[in-house]
């Protein structure tokens, strides 16, 4: 008979892989905002490979892929008086590698015509996390309002 502790351990190990992408890893690049005292305020990830919804940008002559919301966020953070810079996770902390990203890439540069505040107020479709169960459930949802009230047995 399998012991409950073994089942729990297997469940925790399997579940942790779903969230591994959300935890900064050594080698990751982030836009990081710090207050006047140098304390962490917030961050947005920079990607080194293209994916759906990302825009190619260049900070300090290095190419990255970024969400439009991240560019807007850099502008708003600097308006608030925070210092935003590109930082690299080298495994034992963060190393600043590029300053003033808000001066290097604007929303206009990536084809966005709305203000930074308006963009941040709108939902960001590219960053909405989706669990495996949500993705599976979405496959079974109907696109038609008429079918939305039917049951499995009446389809």
Specify the higher pLDDT residue, 30 or 11: 30
* Closest residue by Cα to residue 86 from 108, 58, 111: 58
Q: Is 107 helix (H, G, I), strand (E, B) or coil?
A: coil
State CA 138 to chain mean position distance: 21
For residues 12-21, give the mean pLDDT. Answer: 40
pLDDT at 92: 85
Strand partners, 88: 29, 95
Q: 127-153: string of b/e by CB count within 10 Å (b at 16+)?
A: eeeeeeeeeeeeeeeeeeeeeeeeeee
Phi, psi of 16 (to 5 degrees): -70, -25
Extended strands (E) in 71-149: 83-89, 94-99
Token pair listed for 1? 């008979």
Q: How far apart are CA 132 and CA 138, in angstroms?
A: 10
Task: Please write the tens of the pLDDT for every residue from 30-77.
Answer: 999 999 999 999 999 999 999 999 999 999 999 999 999 999 999 999
Checking phi first, is residue 88 left (phi over 0); if not, alpha (psi -120 to 50) or beta?
beta
Please give the pLDDT value at position 134.
Answer: 56
Q: Where residue 81 falls among pLDDT bands split at 50, 70, 90?
A: very high
With 0.75 as the threshold, say if the pTM is over it: no
Structure-model confidence comparison of residues 149 and 134, the more confident one: 134
Whether pLDDT at 9 is above 60:
no
Structure letter (DSSP) for residue 47: B
pLDDT tens, position by position, 134-146: 556 655 655 444 4
Mean of the per-residue pLDDT values of the chain: 78
pLDDT range class, residue 27, cuts 50, 70, 90:
confident
Higher pLDDT, 151 or 69: 69
How high is the pLDDT of residue 131?
54
* Pairing, β 94-99 against β 83-89: antiparallel
């Amino acid at each position: 008979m399998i012991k409950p502790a073994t089942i729990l351990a297997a469940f925790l190990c399997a579940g942790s892989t779903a969230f591994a992408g959300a935890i900064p890893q050594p080698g990751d690049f982030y836009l990081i905002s710090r207050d006047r005292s140098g304390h962490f305020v917030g961050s947005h990830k920079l990607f080194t490979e293209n994916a759906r919804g990302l825009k190619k940008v260049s900070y300090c002559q290095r190419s990255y892929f970024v969400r439009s919301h991240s560019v807007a966020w850099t502008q708003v953070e600097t308006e608030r008086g925070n210092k935003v810079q590109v930082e690299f996770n080298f495994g034992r902390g963060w190393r600043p590698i590029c300053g003033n990203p808000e001066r290097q890439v604007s929303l206009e540069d990536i084809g966005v015509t709305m203000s930074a505040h308006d963009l941040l107020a709108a939902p960001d479709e590219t960053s909405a996390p989706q669990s495996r169960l949500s993705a599976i459930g979405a496959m079974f949802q109907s696109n038609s309002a008429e079918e939305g009230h039917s049951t499995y047995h009446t389809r």
